[in-house]
């Protein structure tokens, strides 16, 4: 047999440049991306999804700034631009091109059934643009363009991944092996970080600032928010998501940040009040996020470096994207072209 190494599986995921990234994004996504990178088992592609952000009105200077800031957070969290392909979606035109082609293989009815479309068209009733409807097609293009095997996503994106799979299968049935059919990838830590003010809801940057910890929050803000986190009046540290969602959330966060499992934490905090739990959780979160914030400031201050990362990321992405796009053109019968 040959000793050619097996082709690594390809992972693709992205986040929108919509401003604040929270502790939920850190624990649920970014930290796992770093673990995947360090495992060396995958080729990973993580763009900032700025075209998707256009489905709601954006202030141009703010959007421009947030693309760079989001990339700086990626790098500050430990993603290495040499080991992963990091870029800005709009810098690789193949995303938009494939999106058009895929839209011709997607039914309006299936797009109208998406829960996110229904939600967003209610919330933005004055701007139900076509992009809001075709959002999942662009997302399918993102994924299929890179012949992606695995897509790390949260539960809210499951339906969108499903449609990407359906489009891939549908086109493969007509044209033969065009696309790898991607699977969802759920990290091993199933920690769902909940709101600090209403621990029955997921932590979200769209809620009031007291309810979430931003990755870039200052230590004193992190401590204050955790001290004020909603708990219950029982006074006993136990892990019970139903009857003690606030305390359970603190235990989950401390366990995710400190490494100790929740049973060990419950034993260690037996007989101690919630104050001690909150303080230790704050210490652990601050210890993890302080180097991230410092690295972020350093990266963001070096515009030339950041732009270099985006440029080389886009170049590497474009090579892979172009390969798929050519194949699609050929199989669908678009006239061949030579540059
Ligand atoms: N829709 C995703 C979100 O809002 C972002 C996204 C766009 C994405 N394209 C993607 C995620 C492709 C994974 C794969 O979270």
At how many degrees (to 10) do helices 274-301 and 303-332 cross?
80
Token digits of residue 96: 């938009």
CA 231 to CA 253: how far, in whole Å? 14
Are residues 285 and 316 located together in one domain of the fold? no
Are residues 18 and 146 located together in one domain of the fold? yes
Are residues 265 and 327 located together in one domain of the fold? no
Task: Tell me if 153 is assigned to some domain.
Answer: yes
Q: What is the CATH number of the domain that holds 222?
A: 1.10.240.10
Q: What's the domain count of the chain?
A: 2
Are residues 59 and 117 located together in one domain of the fold? yes
Q: Enter the pTM of the model.
A: 0.92
Task: Tell me if 321 is assigned to some domain.
Answer: yes
Helix or strand or coil: residue 311?
helix
User: 214 pairs with which residues across the strands?
Assistant: 22
Q: How far is CA 120 from the centre of its chain?
A: 19
The conformational region for residue 272 under phi > 0 = left, psi -120 to 50 = alpha, else beta, is beta
Helix or strand or coil: residue 247?
helix
The tens digit of pLDDT for each residue in 226-276 reads: 999 999 999 999 999 999 999 999 999 999 998 789 999 999 999 999 999
CA 185 to CA 191: how far, in whole Å? 14
Token digits of residue 275: 């104050």
Are residues 175 and 312 located together in one domain of the fold? yes
Q: Is the pLDDT score of 46 beyond 80?
A: yes
Q: What is the CATH number of the domain that holds 62?
A: 3.40.50.620
Are residues 135 and 226 located together in one domain of the fold? no
The tens digit of pLDDT for each residue in 294-326 reads: 999 999 999 999 999 999 999 999 999 999 999
Are residues 137 and 242 located together in one domain of the fold? no
Are residues 259 and 115 located together in one domain of the fold? no
Residue 218: active-site member: no
**CB of residue 143 inside a 6 A radius of ligand 1:** yes
Are residues 307 and 291 located together in one domain of the fold? no
Measured between alpha carbons, how far is residue 93 from residues 64, 96, 142, 319, 334 in Å? Answer: 17, 6, 11, 12, 18
Catalytic one among 9, 205, 295, 331? 205
**CB of residue 142 inside a 6 A radius of ligand 1:** yes
Give the residue, out of 139, 185, 186, with the most ligand 1 atoms within 8 A of its beta carbon, to mutate for a pocket test: 139
Residue 176, domain extent: 9-190+303-332
Task: Tell me if 86 is assigned to some domain.
Answer: yes
């Amino acid at each position: 047999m040959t000793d050619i190494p097996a082709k690594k599986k390809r992972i693709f995921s992205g986040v929108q440049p919509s401003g604040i990234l929270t502790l939920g994004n850190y624990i649920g996504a970014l930290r796992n991306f770093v673990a995947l990178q360090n495992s060396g088992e995958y080729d990973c592609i993580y763009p900032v999804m700025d075209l998707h952000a256009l489905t709601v009105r954006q202030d141009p200077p703010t959007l421009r700034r947030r693309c760079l800031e989001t990339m700086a957070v990626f790098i500050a969290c430990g993603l290495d631009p040499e080991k992963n392909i990091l870029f800005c979606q709009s810098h690789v035109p193949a995303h938009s091109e494939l999106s058009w082609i895929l839209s011709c293989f997607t039914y309006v009815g299936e797009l109208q059934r998406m829960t996110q479309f229904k939600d967003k068209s209610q919330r933005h009733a004055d701007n139900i643009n076509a992009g809001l409807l075709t959002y999942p097609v662009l997302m399918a293009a993102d994924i299929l363009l890179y012949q992606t095997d695995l897509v790390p996503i949260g539960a809210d994106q499951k339906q969108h991944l499903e449609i990407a799979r359906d489009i891939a299968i549908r086109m493969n049935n007509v044209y033969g092996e065009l696309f790898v059919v991607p699977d969802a990838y759920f990290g091993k830590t199933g920690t769902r970080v909940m709101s600090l003010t209403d621990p029955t809801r997921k932590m979200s940057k769209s809620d009031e600032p007291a309810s979430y910890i931003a990755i870039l929050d200052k230590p004193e803000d992190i401590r204050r928010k955790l001290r004020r986190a909603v708990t219950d009046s029982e006074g006993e540290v136990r892990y019970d998501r139903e009857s003690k969602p606030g305390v359970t959330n603190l235990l989950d966060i401390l366990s995710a940040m400190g490494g100790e499992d929740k049973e060990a934490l419950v034993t260690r905090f037996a007989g101690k009040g919630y104050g001690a739990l909150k303080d230790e959780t704050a210490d652990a979160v601050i210890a993890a996020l302080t180097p991230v914030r410092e690295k972020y400031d350093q990266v963001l201050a070096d515009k030339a470096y950041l732009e270099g990362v985006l440029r080389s990321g886009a170049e590497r992405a474009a090579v892979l994207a172009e390969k798929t796009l050519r194949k699609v053109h050929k199989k669908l019968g678009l006239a061949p072209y030579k540059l």
